[in-house]
A and B are shown apart, each in its own frame.
Chain A
Amino acid sequence: MTINQLMFAIFSAIIIVFSIMTVTSRRILRSATYLLFVLVATAGLYFLLRFNFLAAIQLTLYAGGIVVLIIFSILLTSHIAEKLESPGLMKRIPAKLVAAGGALIAIVTILQHEFPMEVAGDASRTDIREIARSLISTEKFGYALPFEVISVLLLAAMVGAIILAKKRKD
């Protein structure tokens, strides 16, 4: 077993165990903490694949931003000591069947598919200059339009969130 396989095994074990604990934990703040572990382990997978920039985005935006936002809203809307009631058996069994069945079908399909073993190209590193150039380029493999659209989307989300969350006068 190489060091890469070992690191992959560790990260994916963290991801699987803690994502199951995220959806089953009955204390909501712990659930958010387990989500943080999952997101950090995902950043580890990106580092393993040498997407350093994406891993940094994952850490700052997901682990630093979204999880903090979720924890804020948990603290605003529920008591720390409060335990969520566990879902009834009639709700859990169909959901487990759906999830297990879907996962089984997807995994069998993945294992049956033959991916090309050898591909051309240098996978060693991703240049940050190349990323920046693609983001503002309008040529082939350029992402200027989605970049602008996403900035408008973020502005709209910000305005919408402020309007929704502010106190009404009435």
Chain B
Amino acid sequence: MFEGVPLHWFLITGTIMFFVGVYGFLVRKNLITILMSTELILNSVNINFVAFNKILYPDHLEGMFFSIFIIAVAAAEASVAIAIIINIYRRLVNIDVENMDEMKY
């Protein structure tokens, strides 16, 4: 309980966001929309981390540091993924996953 807001509410919000991201990851074809679904998944995990941190262990800061590191990894991942997507666009002129069946040539 954090000033009237139970921990469950945060966890349920995070869960719904996570599985919406999983749904998007499964149905989308465009690589950039798949990347956006991944961002949703990473973000939902961050909500859980900070909610656990603040509500169960208010003296500690582990959850917040995990979230910071997850955000940094997400930034690195997004930049490399977008470089790859632009490279693929140059070779194949569209970025649907179905056209990508070769790794290099």
**Residues of A bordering B, CB below 8 Å:** 2, 4-5, 8, 12, 15-16, 19-20, 22-24, 28, 31-32, 35, 38-39, 42, 45-46, 48-51, 53-54, 57-58, 61-62, 65-66, 69-70, 72-74, 76-78, 84-85, 87, 91-92, 94-96, 98-100, 102-103, 106-107, 110-111, 115-117, 119-123, 126, 130-131, 134-135, 141, 143, 146, 150, 153-154, 156-158, 160-162, 164-165
Separation in Å of the B1 CB from the closest CB of chain A?
Answer: 6
Please state if A19 and B67 are interface contacts (CB–CB under 8 Å): no
**Residues of B bordering A, CB below 8 Å:** 1-5, 7-13, 15-24, 26-30, 32-33, 35-37, 39-40, 43, 46-47, 50-51, 54-62, 64-65, 67-69, 71-80, 82-87, 89, 94-95
Please state if A123 and B40 are interface contacts (CB–CB under 8 Å): no
Please state if A102 and B19 are interface contacts (CB–CB under 8 Å): yes
B7's nearest neighbour on chain A, judged by CB, is: A115
Determine the chain B residues whose CB is within 8 A of the CB of A153 once the complex forms.
72-73, 76
Please state if B80 and A32 are interface contacts (CB–CB under 8 Å): no
With A and B bound together, what is the CA distance between A5 and B86 in angstroms? 43
With A and B bound together, what is the CA distance between A5 and B82 in angstroms? 38
With A92-B27, A157-B76 known to touch, is A70 a contact of B35 (CB < 8 Å)? yes
Determine the chain A residues whose CB is within 8 A of the CB of B55 once the complex forms.
115, 119, 123
Separation in Å of the B21 CB from the closest CB of chain A?
Answer: 7
Please state if B82 and A161 are interface contacts (CB–CB under 8 Å): yes
Determine the chain B residues whose CB is within 8 A of the CB of A115 once the complex forms.
7-8, 55-56
With A12-B9, A54-B68, A121-B58 known to touch, is A160 a contact of B80 (CB < 8 Å)? yes
B27, B56, B76: the one within 8 Å of A154 (CB)? B76
24 A-B pairs whose Cβ atoms sit less than 8 Å apart in the complex: A2-B3, A19-B16, A19-B40, A23-B27, A23-B36, A35-B40, A46-B50, A51-B64, A57-B71, A61-B71, A70-B32, A73-B32, A85-B29, A87-B27, A95-B27, A121-B58, A123-B58, A134-B61, A146-B69, A157-B76, A162-B83, A164-B80, A164-B83, A165-B83
Determine the chain A residues whose CB is within 8 A of the CB of B61 once the complex forms.
126, 130-131, 134, 141
With A and B bound together, what is the CA distance between A31 and B29 in angstroms? 14
B17, B62, B68, B89: the one within 8 Å of A15 (CB)? B17
A72's nearest neighbour on chain B, judged by CB, is: B82
With A and B bound together, what is the CA distance between A116 and B40 in angstroms? 29
Determine the chain A residues whose CB is within 8 A of the CB of B58 once the complex forms.
119, 121-123
